[in-house]
Structure 1
Amino acid sequence: MSDLKTTVMPDVSTTSAHGYTLWQLVRYMLALGTWGFGGPVALAGYMYRDLVERRQWFTDADYKEGLALAQLMPGPLAAQLAIYLGFVHYRLRGASLVGAAFVLPSFLMVVGLGAAYTTYGGIGWMQSVFYGVGAAVIGIIAMSAYKLTSKSVGKDRLLWPIFLVSAAVTVATQSEEVWLFLGAGVLVWLWRAPPAWLRHGSGLHSVAAPIAGMFALHSIDGVKLKQIGLYFAYAGSFVFGSGLAIVPFLYGGVVKEYGWLTDRQFVDAVAVAMITPGPVVITTGFIGFLVSGFWGAVVAALATFVPCYLFTVIPAPYFKKYGKRPDVIAFVDGVTAAAIGSIAGAVIVIGQRSITDWITAALALATVAVLWRFKKLPEPAIVAAAAIIGLVVHPLVTPL
């Protein structure tokens, strides 16, 4: 193995500084994008478990900075967290390769499903698979949320109220509020590391909101492809929150405003995102395929993910440069507590959609029990078993 570590690309292959090569991280993200079921909450949990706890490629501080940045910027949480981790030690090249590796597997899957969907006029087995997989995923997400809460919130008396309020707001509104994350960060910052002007009795200055911009694709042939590019760039630039937060936004555009899909097709598109691994936002690729074929899928996916890439790599150097300052650490702690609270609340929100009867409830509880007992059991095995159970059981419990 040592012979492979030549000086051809020393900044990529050297492991002495941080214990891994860029290609090892790319392979991990490629694998996670291939088998990482459960949406952004579970994917963020997998990254923490695998890259911080088990492999120790990243520190707690690296992970918390990435999670905070992903919550503050618009776009899909899991993809932005992956991009940030790629940036930590390998800068733009790492962010680019890691981001592409994370998104590519699920993109190819939704394109294949889109081709099958248009060829055969729908995918009837999808609901049966999601019946089983959706319930198991709730168990997986619950365990991920538990681990994140134990590690990042712990017994901190200031962070626990923030965690609980964020969870409650997420459940009540069924969305993630960026102002709640910002407010939590400012609160902990002012409490733990107040600036000098505050300690001396000066008034508060206004807190700047994150800057959101619009990334527009151009030089695209065809009016419809241009519409797709502009619309999904807008969606990727202005929708805050992880995964499912973009779903109601997309519904208003692709169904109500443009009439590209019917209600039934949109529901199927969301189901495709939930039963395929990788980021939930990859449903934009499936929608793009239904609207305008393969190139529609390419344009929709690129237009959605390029803004989140830019919103990650542009502020990332400042997070790394100033991340050790006490005021920044306090701000990140507050944002992280709110983010994890939102993740915990999302377990309930998603569970309301996936737990529909005693069978799915039992499957979710069984998943938690199995993961608690067998901590090294791979999630893909659980998901595969749940899919088989769904295919067998769902037709029996669904009225004709």
Structure 2
Amino acid sequence: MNAPHDRPAYTLRQLVMYFVRLGALGFGGPVALAGHMRRDLVEARQWITDGDYKEGLALAQLAPGPLAAQLAIYLGYVHYRILGATLVGIAFVLPSFLMVVALGWAYVRFGGLTWMQSVFYGVGAAVIGIIAISAYKLTTRSVGKDKLLWAIYLLLCAVTVITESEVAWLFLASGVLVWLWRAPPKWLGHGRANAIAAIPAPAASALLGTIDWPLLSQIGLFFAKAGAFVFGSGLAIVPFLYGGVVTEYHWLNEKQFVDAVAVAMITPGPVVITVGFIGYLVAGLPGACVAAAGTFLPCYLFTILPAPYFKKYGKLPAILAFVDGVTAAAVGAISGAVIVLARRSIVDVPTVLLAVVTVALLLRFRKLPEPAIVAGAAALGLLIYPLLHH
């Protein structure tokens, strides 16, 4: 058990530098990033216990906002509390934010990114291979042989594939089901953490609403809503963004929005950082900063406010059962998201081969770095895509 007074096996600087590196080099979206954190921090370095990791994954899945960023913030909180959570959150998001702002500048300056489709064609297929391996590893470690957890996992996987979204109440229901099955309660006071977690959204929206410039105010409020009300992975935010950015506000056209999603996929770090690119296209650097702050502030608050309650009560049998249920649901939804994404990225024989080769390489060479695969896939995309689409 990691009590607050336990002496961690690492310094805050080491943890922050780890997340700078993950934010700069971690490809594959929330599934792969969550898998990296487990592999590196729980298994290889043993800085974080399996129990703390599971708590973080469950909290990240229960709270709205991007999953990978919330998990990172929680892991920063484990030993170094609010300072750790804050520095880790910034370290994780900043590298990819700077990259998408630079790409946004290039996009505006050079009138679109014609090469982006070629790169995305290759990278998108390789990314499916990367996240498929991560989903497989998460499944084997989190679900085990428990039949109830497998039933939850398969249900959530199917729901995600069918609806192409993540149904928040099913995560809660899964946790409650396993809790009632394994540790029937004598008391019913489990609602408090959720009540506390529900506080910051209006506050964050009100804060962002005080910005003077009408467009920046509009951007801030819209992206705060995106961060406050979209559950699960950064992938789940894409339909919500499309509805606001293209359909409601007409800030971007269809092609610009597709390019924005491509940028998110070919840059490392959290997928949801596409908000920085969108913000840049709409209102330059101030727009990028406001969009990113609006999206990540609610998820930061939703993580650090319930965290003390998770830490204090997280070892109770009822909470452990609840966390197991939510984790099984989360991993099921993540596996479903792999299938949803594969439908969009695996479009012909070359992309099928790219995805299969990526899986084979990662299974055969366990220490093969993902950025090397992504770079190779990008090069292949630049070669193959023009031949097939001319």
Shorter-chain TM-score range: over 0.9
Q: CA deviation at 1:235?
A: 1.2
TM-score normalised over the length of structure 2: 0.94
Give the partner amino acid of 1:251. Y
Number of equivalenced pairs: 380
Q: CA deviation at 1:211?
A: 2.4
Give the partner amino acid of 2:47. W
After superposition, residues 1-400 of structure 1 pair within 5 angstroms as 17-196=7-186, 211=198, 213-214=201-202, 215-216=204-205, 217-398=208-389, 400=390
Give the partner amino acid of 1:374. F
SS at match of 1:19: coil
SS at match of 2:147: coil
Structure 2: stretches of 5+ with no match in the other structure: none
* Residues 151-197 of structure 1, C-alpha deviations (whole Å, 9 max, x = no match): 11111122111111111111111111111110100000000000136
Give the partner amino acid of 1:363. L
Q: State how far apart, in whole Å, the 2-side matches of 1:142 and 1:319 are.
A: 29
CA RMSD of aligned residues (A): 1.8
Give the partner amino acid of 1:28. Y
Closer/same/farther in 2, CA of residues 205 and 329 from structure 1, 3 Å limit: closer
* Residues 301-329 of structure 1, C-alpha deviations (whole Å, 9 max, x = no match): 00110110000000001000000000000
Q: CA deviation at 1:393?
A: 1.1
* Residues 263-292 of structure 1, C-alpha deviations (whole Å, 9 max, x = no match): 111111111111111111111111110111
SS at match of 2:48: coil
Q: State how far apart, in whole Å, the 1-side matches of 2:362 and 2:225 are.
A: 39
Structure 1: stretches of 5+ with no match in the other structure: 1-14, 199-203
Q: State how far apart, in whole Å, the 2-side matches of 1:196 and 1:119 are.
A: 63
SS at match of 1:240: coil
* Residues 49-96 of structure 1, C-alpha deviations (whole Å, 9 max, x = no match): 111111111111111101100111110000000000000000000000
Q: State how far apart, in whole Å, the 2-side matches of 1:183 and 1:396 are.
A: 49
Q: CA deviation at 1:220?
A: 2.5
Q: Higher Cα Rg: structure 1 or 2?
A: 1
* Residues 336-385 of structure 1, C-alpha deviations (whole Å, 9 max, x = no match): 00000111111101111110111111111111111111111111111111
TM-score normalised over the length of structure 1: 0.92
Give the partner amino acid of 1:170. T
Q: State how far apart, in whole Å, the 2-side matches of 1:223 and 1:178 are.
A: 32
Q: CA deviation at 1:29?
A: 0.6
Q: State how far apart, in whole Å, the 2-side matches of 1:281 and 1:107 are.
A: 10
Q: CA deviation at 1:219?
A: 4.5
* Residues 125-159 of structure 1, C-alpha deviations (whole Å, 9 max, x = no match): 11111111111111110111111111111111221
Q: State how far apart, in whole Å, the 2-side matches of 1:320 and 1:53 are.
A: 21
Give the partner amino acid of 1:100. I
Q: CA deviation at 1:206?
A: 8.8
Q: CA deviation at 1:16?
A: 8.4
Q: State how far apart, in whole Å, the 1-side matches of 2:217 and 2:20 are.
A: 29
Q: State how far apart, in whole Å, the 2-side matches of 1:363 and 1:136 are.
A: 6
Q: State how far apart, in whole Å, the 2-side matches of 1:225 and 1:147 are.
A: 41
Q: State how far apart, in whole Å, the 2-side matches of 1:223 and 1:80 are.
A: 29
4+ long deviations beyond 4 Å: 204-210
**Taking every aligned residue pair, what percent have the same amino acid on both sides?**
71
